[in-house]
Chain A
Amino acid sequence: MTGAEIILECLKREGVQVMFGYPGGQVLPLFDKLYDTDFKFILVRHEQGAAHAADGYARATGKVGVCVATSGPGATNLITGLANAYMDSIPMVAITGQVKTSLIGNDAFQEADVTGITRPVTKHNYLVKDVKDLARITREAFYIASTGRPGPVLIDLPSDVQLQETEFIWPEEVNIRSYKPTYFGHPGQIKKAARLIRQAKKPLIYAGGGIITAGAHHELKELAERIQAPVTWTLMGIGGFPATHKLALGMLGMHGTVYANYATMDSDLIIAVGARFDDRVTGRIDAFAPGAKVIHIDIDPSSISKNVKVDIPIVGDAKNILGQLLEEIKGASDTSDWLRIVEAWKKKHPLTYKNGDKIKPQFVIEQIDAVTGGTAIITTEVGQNQMWAAQWYKYTQPRTFISSGGLGTMGFGFPAAMGAKLGRPDKIVFDIAGDGSIQMNIQELATCVCNNIQVKVAILNNGYLGMVRQWQELFYKKRYSQTCLHNPDFVKLAEAYGAVGIRVTRNEEVRPAIERAISTENTVFIDFQIEPEENVFPMVPAGEAINKLIGGLA
C-alpha cells in the first residue's frame, strides 16, 4: 500500500466516520485516495473551521475528532483549533501535508515547521519520515489522543511519504513504555478521602470537565446524593450534573452564581473532581475557600497542587475514583444544617434580570431552553453570549454544552455546532453567538448549506464586542475603545449563502422565531437585536475573592 492508503486504512480501523478538512498541494496523494473511500468528508471553507468542527464532533460524541489540512498555511490555520482542543483536553487527530522529505528545511513553497509550531499546543506530534512507521504512528496518535488526559495529536505527513509503498501491518496493540496513564485511585488515598468526607460538616463538590470526559455523571450524582453535598461546576463541567437537581448550585467563579461562590468560600471540604482551579474559578487565590480542606481528583498529576494547596491528591480517572469512593462510603451523611444555609443563599440571591422594551439576552436563552426542553446541544462563542448560555440554559445531560473554556476562542461555536450536529444528528443544535464572534468563522455557512448541516444560530446582536465593552464600562470609565461594531445584515447574509435568516426585534417574536428555526429544514441564523448595554452579572472583578461579587445581587 502507499502511505496515503495506509493512513486511510488506519483511520477506518480506528472507527473514523467523519473528517473535516481542506485540500492543497502537499496532501494531493491523500485526497486522491480519499476519493475512493466511504468516509464522510466535510469540506470546510477555512482550516480553522475544520479544527473546531472536529473538536465539536469529539465533544458531542466522545470519539476522536479528525481534521486534515495541507502544509504551510493549511497547517498554520489549524493552530488556534489545536490550542483550543489542547486547553480543554479534547481528543483530536490532525493530519497535515508536508513538503517532500528532501525539501524539509529548505524554505520550500508552502513549507512551515509544523511539528515545531504545534509542539506547545498538542499532546504529542509526529513528523513521519519513513512510510514503514506510518501505521504504528497513526495507531499511537489515536491512542494518545483518547487516553489519559485526552488532547490533540498531530501527524505531519510529507507528500513523498504519502506516495511511498510498503506492506501494511496493523499494530494490534499499542505499547508506549513512557506513557502509562493512571486510571484507578490509590486505595490508601481513597480511604483518607472517605474519612475526610465523613467528617465534613460543610462539604462541596466542585466538578469540572473531567466528569464529562470520563463519563462519570452517574457516579457524581450518586455521590452527591449519598453524602448530601451541594454541587457546583466549572464552565467545562456543565452538563455533568443536572442543573434542575436540588443539590445543584450552578457554575462558580467569575460569572458564577452568588450561592455557588458563597458555598465555595464557606465550605469546610472541597471535593474537586476533574477540575483544575483555573483563575476564572478561584479569583484571588490567597483568599480562596480559607476554611476548606481539598480533595483533588484528576487524571493529570500536573493539575494537582498547581494553583491551590491540596490535602488529598488522587490521580486517576474520575469515573473509577468516584466508584471507589462510593464503595468506601456506604452510609448517608447528615448535612442538613449546611444545606439549609445554602438554600437560604439560593432564595436570597437567585440569578436575575429585568425584562424591558428591548429583548434581553437572558430571556432569549430561557426561551430556547423552554422550546427545546433543556435537551438540545448548545454550543457557544466566547464572551457575554457564552456566559449567558452557561447561566440561563438548564443543562441536564453531559455533552450538551460545548464551549471554548480554556482558550476562550471567538469563532469556535459555529464550526463546533457543525461538528456536533454531524456527530449527533438526532439532536437540535444551537450555537449561541454574539455579533462579533459569529463573524470570525462565518464562512462555514457555506459548509453547512452545501452539506445540509442544519444548525441553528442565535445571534445575540448588541452591536458591541459585549464582554470587552462591559469591562470598559465597569473598569475603564466607559471609554468604548474599538468595541462598537458596524455589522452586516445577518438575514441577507444568511440568505446569500442559501441559509434562512430571521430578524427578531420584539419580545413577543422571540419564541415563535425559535420554533420556526427548529422546524425549518435548513441552517438558520436568528438575528436577535438585544438590549445593547446589558451586562453579565453577577461578576467577580479580576483579582478579587469570589464572594466579592458585583451586580445581580437582588
Chain B
Amino acid sequence: MRHTISVLVENKFGVLARVAGLFSARGYNIASLSVSETLDPSISYMTIVVEVKDEKILEQIKKQLNKLIDVVTVTDFTKKEHVDRELILVKVGCAAKEKAKLEGLLHKYVAKLIQHKTNTAIIEAVGDQEQVKQLLEGLKEFEIKELVRSGRMAITQ
C-alpha cells in the first residue's frame, strides 16, 4: 500500500540523507519526495510517498524517523483526513491547428497551457492523484515528450 508521510525536520545539511537512509536500509524505494522550507526558515517540510508491503515495517520506519535527532515531527496521512496535490509540467507535441483541441481538453482539468511554440506546448496542472492520472490519460491523444512531477504534497484538514 502507498503511504504518504510528512516529516518536519531541521533545515540543515545531511538531514535528507538521514531520512532517506532509513528507507533505503530496509530496501524501500521512495516513490516521491518533496522538500521545502516552512514559514520558519530553520525547519523544512518533507512529504514522502512510499510503497510498503508490511505495515509493521512502516511502523518501525516511523519510530526510527522520530528517533532521528533532527526530526521534529512525523505525520502519517494514511489514516488522516487530508488534502494532497501534485504539480506537473508536461511538454506535448501540438501543431498550430491542434491548439484549440488541446485547450478544450485542458479546460476540463485544473490545467493550463503556459507556452506554445513551434509545434510544442507546455502544460501546467495541479491536482490530486486521480485528477493527474486522468489528465495524463487525456493527453495521450497528443505526443507526450517530457513529464516532470513535483511529487505529492499533503496537508491535514
Contacts and interface: CB of A to CB of B under 8 A. Distances in A.
Interface of A: 115-116, 119-120, 123-124, 127, 144, 176-179, 300-302, 305-306
Interface stretch (B56-64, B84-92, B103-111, B136-144): B56-64
A413 B9 CA distance: 39
Interface in B42-81: 59-60, 63-64, 66-67, 69-72
A302 B67 contact: yes
Contact of B14 (A115, A179, A302): A115
B69 A302 contact: no
> By CB atoms of chain B within 10 A, which of A115, A116, A119, A178 has the most?
A178
Counting chain B residues whose Cβ lies within 8 A of the other chain, the interface size class is 10 to 19
9 interchain residue pairs of minimum CB distance:
A302-B63, A178-B72, A124-B69, A179-B69, A301-B63, A302-B64, A302-B67, A178-B71, A119-B21
Given A115-B14, A119-B18, A178-B10, A302 B60 contact: yes
Contacts of A301: 63, 66-67
A179 B18 CA distance: 15
B39 interface: no
Contact of B69 (A116, A178, A300): A178
A115 B13 CA distance: 11
Given A179-B69, A302-B64, A116 B17 contact: yes
A115 B64 CA distance: 18
Contacts, number: 33
B25 interface: yes
Given A127-B14, A302-B64, A120 B69 contact: no
23 contacts: A115-B14, A116-B17, A119-B14, A119-B17, A119-B18, A120-B21, A123-B69, A127-B13, A127-B14, A177-B72, A178-B9, A178-B69, A178-B71, A178-B72, A179-B69, A300-B67, A301-B66, A301-B67, A302-B63, A302-B64, A302-B66, A302-B67, A305-B59
A116 B17 CA distance: 8
B60 A144 contact: no
B97 to A, nearest CB: 52
Nearest to A148: B67
A144 B13 CA distance: 19
A301 B66 CA distance: 9
A119 B59 CA distance: 21
A298 to B, nearest CB: 11
B25 A120 contact: yes
Given A119-B21, A302-B63, A302-B64, A178 B14 contact: no
Contacts of A305: 59
A177 B70 CA distance: 9
A219 to B, nearest CB: 26
A371 B83 CA distance: 70
